[in-house]
Amino acid sequence: MRKIVYALLAAVLASAAAAAAWLFWQTDDIGPPPLHTARLTQAERVARGAYLAQAGNCMACHTTRGGQAYAGGRALQTPFGAVISPNITADRATGIGMWSADDFWRALHNGKSRDGRLLYPAFPYPNYTRITRDDADALYAYFQTIPAVARENQPHQLRFPYKLQAALAVWRALYFKPAVFREETGQSVDWNRGAYLVQGLGHCSACHSARNRLGASDGESLSGGMIPAQGWYAPALNARGDWQREHLAALLKTGASPRATVFGPMAEVVQQSLQHLSDSDINAMAVYLQALPPGPRSRPFERDGSPEAAAFLAAGARLYERHCVDCHGANGAGQAPAYPPLAGNQALTMESAVNPIRIVLNGGFAPGTAGNPRPYSMPPFSHVMSDTEVAQVVSYLRSAWGNNAPPVGATEVNRYRAVPLD
């Protein structure tokens, strides 16, 4: 009997290995020949690629702080360990100087390196797969002009079994299929351009969508999701239908609007990427995001009416009066764009309160942009408020001026007190 069990187990393992091998070495789609970029001069192609690289915020992952541009080495933390970004300068030994345009397309579209290795989806090829061959070739032309930096790529620091290529092949079989962006004929030119940027090069769902236990995104719902490695919650983007388009465009372009201000990881995205996009592309993204169907409405929170709960919020109100009212006002209306409104602010009323907790503890720092070159920042209060006091004031903010979200406790605040701001 034992021999039969071993034989069956061996057969299963052999089948799994064969399937993984087939998934690993199957023929790649190298895409259609470029149409638009082939008609451009080399200088025009490089300029287009430089613009697209900013739209994709490539430098954010492929450049260490204070390091040489695109030389890699940044550790991208994931729930499965750290993925170390590679050198994508034109160095022929350690970068992508030996890559062809087909090799570069294969990485974006199929998630495979030049040598056939499967790439980890911390490199967001599940989004980049929608990029057109024309745009891929423009990006390739640009990266071939990046000064070569001889910097060896470091191995990833992933736990077993996530570090195995066979495990990655199985993940891809479950959650990844090369795709092509297709315009919807019933939508406007702006909507389709916005969809292309948001779904593809902008890879917005990489942060703004929930993920399962194996790290796979729930698609393009953009209904919000936790970024575990950074300790921030990326809010829903499919709840912007009630925004004025110019307010949403201003938030994307400058980091500040009459409705809200960006902080945390999104501040870097606006500063390094979005502020450099054309007004027409920013407007197209706003058109698309406004048109997304909202997610299901959560049930209204039924607030505890006990004396203890009322006293907790009253303590938060007193803290607000002492520390916050001068900037945000007694009615929570703020003074846009310097001081964002708190009344009706979705960042305060999300199910997760991690963002306001972290901002009260560590301060809030809006990005400096061409459209908002001297942003106001919020000072940290971790040195003057206890965990209980932070919980009280955040709970008050989530209950005042028509806001209606659950309170938070001191234990939840303490969880983020020692977490770095970024």
Q: Where in the chain are the domains? A: 19-175, 189-291, 307-417
Rounded to whole angstroms, how far apart are CA atoms 88 and 62?
7
Torsion angle of the four alpha carbons 124, 125, 130, 131, in this order, in degrees rounded to the nearest 10? 90
Query: Would you state the pLDDT for residue 219?
Result: 75
CATH code for the structural domain at 307-417: 1.10.760.10
Give whichever of 10-14, 75-79, 194-198, 351-355 has the largest mean pLDDT: 194-198
Predicted confidence (pLDDT) per residue in 366-389, tens digit: 999 999 999 988 999 999 999 999
| pLDDT, tens digit (0-9, with 9 covering 90-100), for 274-314 | 999 999 999 999 999 999 988 777 778 888 889 999 999 99
At the top level of CATH, the class of 189-291 is mainly alpha
Q: How many CB atoms lie within 10 A of CB 297?
A: 7
pLDDT of residue 16 exceeding 90, the answer is no
- Alpha-helical (H) ranges within 144-278 are 165-175, 189-196, 205-208, 245-254, 265-272
Both tokens of 64, joined, read 């260490």
Please, what is the average pLDDT of the chain?
Answer: 89
Is there a shared CATH topology between the 189-291 domain and the 307-417 domain?
A: yes
pTM score, whole prediction: 0.88
Give the three-state DSSP class for 274.
Answer: helix
Greatest C-alpha distance within the chain: 78
Q: Give the pLDDT band (50/70/90) at residue 13.
A: very low
State the pLDDT confidence band at 332, using cuts at 50, 70 and 90.
Answer: very high
